[in-house]
Homo-oligomer: A and B are copies of this chain.
Amino acid sequence: MYVLIFLFTPTTLATTRPMQNNKPPLPQAASKALIESISAFPHFTKEEVIASTPRNNEEWRNYVHARNSEQKKKIKKMKKELNVDVELMNINDVVVRKLTPKMITPEFEDKVYLDIHGGAFVLFGGLPSIEEGLLVAERLGIVVYSVDYRMPPTFPFPAALNDVVAVYNALLDQAGKGNVFVGGTSAGGSLVLSLVQSLITSKSPLPKAVYAGTPWADLTKTSDSLYINEGIDGVLVTYDGTLEAAAKLYAGKIALTDSAISPLYGSFEAFPPTLLVTGTRDMFLSDTVRVSRAIRDSGGVAQIEIFEGLSHAEYLIFYKTPESETTYRTMKSFFLSAN
């Protein structure tokens, strides 16, 4: 009887992989700057992440407030460092920040970039929404519009997607067909894919090219790297805590396998050229790989950049690393060569 229980009960067993103090060894072949950034970044165990997961709307609001306050400090520091002008505005009733760099790349003079921030569909509203937009504006030399889309617990799906579609349509009217790029990281990358799928369905003009950085394209616990890189990815750590709770909070009454929630269950036919970025330690490595396969298998163009030893979105979080510089330099070339 004990044997049967052992065989059929999912158990957590030790692996033989080398771990020191429950942390994986540092990635020796990553850049020196990335290794230093990883070393300095706080390390959380799976148990700690699960224990800190909000359990109700009030806990969510406190959690979001605390994380956003921390993030605001980083954004204020970045704003001082980068030559980008930030202008708060309303577009089609959605809060948007227009980011204008000092130097515009000549080929991007008539172009705009719609930036969709990440944060597991709940974090980084307000000023924190411009984190990646600032880097894109400065490093590509392009005018960026960062959407401050509505989020749960107050506004679950489809509020975020509706806001993104509304701003995209306004930018399309303003800049004209073939002049809009769209991009985002993590939950933002997922919303990029959902936006494109909804534009294809409604036969609307598509972005000239899109960027989906380590997109959270499947909100269920299906992708292999959610298992393999659990406890290895220093940013996400585990699916079983905040990620799973955030997915359910965002989806509300819709199933996580609905293609409007998880674009990997939708179609990738007729996608515009798509740049994907991930790392070997990324818990969304599999989501990114699956999106690249889906686009290529549908006859589209997907370019995938993978960085050695890089966890989820670290090319954005550690923006002073060569991995970060390479990401946005590649994005610039990718957009310049798109047609």
Residues of B within 8 A of A231 (CB): 15-17
Q: Are B16 and A10 in contact (CB under 8 A)?
A: no
Dominant secondary structure of chain A at its interface with chain B: loop
Find A308's partner among B20, B224, B280, B330 (CB 8 Å cutoff).
B224
Residues of B within 8 A of A10 (CB): 18, 20
Say if the beta carbon of A27 comes within 8 Å of chain B: yes
Say if the beta carbon of A166 comes within 8 Å of chain B: no
Q: Are A306 and B289 in contact (CB under 8 A)?
A: yes
Q: Mark A230-273, 1 if CB is under 8 A from B, else 0.
A: 11100000100000000000000000000000000000000000
CB distance from A92 to the nearest CB of B (A): 36
Residue of A7, A14, A218, A238 contacting most chain B CB atoms (<10 Å): A14
CA A292 to CA B303, docked complex, whole Å: 12
Residues of B within 8 A of A15 (CB): 14-15, 17, 19, 22, 231
Interface residues of A in 275-298 (CB under 8 A from B): 280-281, 285-286, 289-290, 292-293, 296-297
Say if the beta carbon of A106 comes within 8 Å of chain B: no
CB distance from A218 to the nearest CB of B (A): 8
How many copies of this chain sit in the oligomeric assembly?
2
Interface residues of A in 158-208 (CB under 8 A from B): none
CA A281 to CA B280, docked complex, whole Å: 10
Say if the beta carbon of A39 comes within 8 Å of chain B: no
CB distance from A119 to the nearest CB of B (A): 24
CA A27 to CA B15, docked complex, whole Å: 17
- Since A18-B227, A24-B228, A289-B306 are in contact, a sample of 12 more A-B pairs with Cβ atoms closer than 8 Å, ordered by chain A residue number, is A10-B20, A12-B16, A16-B22, A16-B230, A17-B230, A17-B231, A29-B290, A223-B308, A224-B281, A228-B280, A280-B285, A304-B306
A-B pairs with lowest CB-CB distance, top 4: A14-B14, A27-B224, A224-B309, A16-B46
21 cross-chain CB contacts under 8 A: A7-B21, A10-B18, A12-B18, A13-B22, A15-B17, A15-B22, A16-B22, A16-B231, A24-B228, A25-B227, A29-B218, A29-B222, A29-B224, A29-B286, A30-B224, A224-B308, A228-B228, A228-B232, A280-B285, A289-B308, A306-B306
> Which chain A residues have a beta carbon within 8 Å of chain B's beta carbons?
7, 10-22, 24-25, 27-30, 45-47, 218, 222-225, 227-232, 238, 280-281, 285-286, 289-290, 292-293, 296-297, 304, 306-309, 326, 330
